[in-house]
Amino acid sequence: MRRYLLSVVLLLLSLPLVRPALGEIPACVPVDVEAPLPLPRNVRAPAAEGCIVYRRAPRNLAGATADVLVFGDPQVKSAADVDYFQRDIIDPLRGRHHARLGLTLGDLVDDVPALLPAVKQATASLNVPWMHVPGNHDVDPGTASDEASLGLFHRAIGPDTFARETPLANLVALDDVIYLPGRKPAYIGGLRADQFAFLARWLPTLPKNRLLVVALHIPLFDADGRETFRHADRARLFALLAEFPHVLVLSAHSHSQRHYFHDARDGWQGAAPLHEFNLGAACGSYWSGAKDVEGIPDATMADGTPNGYAVLTVKAGGEYALAWHAARDPQDTQIGLHAPRVLRRGAYPAWGVFANVYMGDDDTRVEFRVDDGDWMPMKKVLQPDPRLLAENVRDDEATALRGYDRSPEAEVSQHLWRAALPTKLAAGEHRIEVRAFDRWRGEVRATTTYSLLDAR
């Protein structure tokens, strides 16, 4: 009997702490540990001191490489949006992807927490373990404090902060939305004291030869010159990460796409710049724009990036690769082109071809040629994508609604290149070819045409 009671006590001590009441922040951070990694002992301490519950998980991210699906902002607000998400993002992936894990970087819904189970069910149909990060639109309506802001998320989805240890990489998902009721905006990016306590206790236990992925909703960099993530929290996080040589930050929230490399100007003291991939949204521009023949909105984002999803490929030794895939695009287009259809032959070459290189950054080499001529460099420009500007004009000139919501007003793109088109060529149609050297994929190309006509 005494041996039986002792076994029961030991079993109870090994279990996670009791689930918190609705609206409370979970007391312990769950960490899933994939086989065959050793399962550490639970860290039983107050949340303020870094309580951790380790859980055994099946082997997923192992071998030489493994893929992770990454979604930003599904952001559904209605049953119609759930249907768009299902048909535009989920259905084309079912039975066709090779991922072994999935991540959603917040804003599963658009202030409609009743739809959280529908989004979870849709992503679950991809049949891989999934990590959901909460966003600012996932908070409880009318909540009075940050501490009580994610009760419905906890009930429908799970914890807001958690981690996963795998043979190839370690991943941590962090709720980085500090809810500020009564203010405008009613939130700011940042981390709670209990999250820092967890990180301070967990990070030193990790090997530094594996990739460390930090998954967030609100980006760590400032937007529009404003402090959109608390600088003190960012500095504290950077201090905890600085000793890791292989770190990738994934964020969403902006409904645009860019690569940001943190350095000493941002307070980063690591040996190399810290790469943050702020990926585009699954919903694009909030499921807006004219519908196609399938009845799904265009959803192009304000920087000209098509809606879609990313694939993170994790590799041994802390290496990784990233790829962006536009929704339902069998061509897997990586460059969006815009050029005039016709120019006057012999005119001053003041009109250009624009290339929106969706995965481009400041170091991306982009070149063009006409009619198989010599490759010539294109110049990176900070301006709106003319393709979306043209869509804005079509919306302006329409005499009837072209969609439930029109496409967003075009904003400056962080990955747009331009080159002037030659006009001293033979009259007729000419082929434009653009190539970009993707950091991970290598060379990617796109083509279009323009015509030169003699003026009468």
Read off the pLDDT of residues 279-323 as tens digits, 9 standing for 90 and up.
999 999 999 999 999 999 999 999 999 999 999 999 999 999 999
- List of the chain residues with pLDDT < 50: 1-23
Rounded Cα gap, residues 435 and 89, in angstroms: 27
Read off the pLDDT of residues 243-274 as tens digits, 9 standing for 90 and up.
999 999 999 999 999 999 999 999 999 999 99
* Secondary structure (DSSP) of 262-319: E-GGGT--SSSPEEEEEPPPTTTTTS-S-B-TTS-B----TTSPPSEEEEEEEEGGG-
Across 229-253, b (16+ Cβ under 10 Å) vs e yields bbeebbebbbeebeebebbbbbbbb
* Secondary structure (DSSP) of 138-177: GSPTT--SSTTTTHHHHHHT--SSEEEE-SSEEEEE---E
Res 224: pLDDT: 84
Res 26: pLDDT: 58
The token pair that represents 373 in the structure block:
């001529």
Res 25: pLDDT: 54
* C-beta separation of 168 from 316 below 8 A: yes
* Secondary structure (DSSP) of 194-245: HHHHHHHHHGGGS-TTSEEEEE-SS-SS-BTTB--B-HHHHHHHHHHHTT-S
- Residue 333: count of CB within 10 angstroms of its CB: 16
Res 302: pLDDT: 98
